[in-house]
Amino acid sequence: MLTVNISDLRINLKKYLSAVGTGGSVHIVSHGKEIARLVPPAPHSRDAKKRMRDLRRHCIIGDVISPLEESWNALSDRP
């Protein structure tokens, strides 16, 4: 993790982007307070797999094509 002042970031942006590109992170400060972070993007496939694992806990796998035993009228809730 690098911490850099915003004025130094402006001058050496290419250097800091290179550091982020290799997996590092850069914390940007202005007047001693952190205002932003540059971090590498998370791999999309890893995030997608995590979301699918999380959804799996709430899903019920079953037959979604066969008709239900109950009758249903889409307009029944309308006045």
Give tens-digit pLDDT for 25-71. Answer: 999 999 999 999 999 987 788 888 888 888 888 877 777 777 777 77
3-22 pLDDT, tens per residue? Answer: 999 999 999 999 999 999 99
Which pLDDT does position 75 carry in this prediction? 73
Delineate the domains of the chain, giving CATH numbers in brackets: 2-56 (3.40.1620.10)
| Bridge pairing between strands 26-30 and 33-38 | antiparallel
* pTM tops 0.85, yes or no: no
Q: How confident is the model at residue 78 (pLDDT cuts 50, 70, 90)?
A: low
Question: 40 forms bridges with which residues in the sheet?
Answer: none
DSSP states of 12-50: THHHHHHHHHTT--EEEEETTEEEEEE-PPPPHHHHHHH
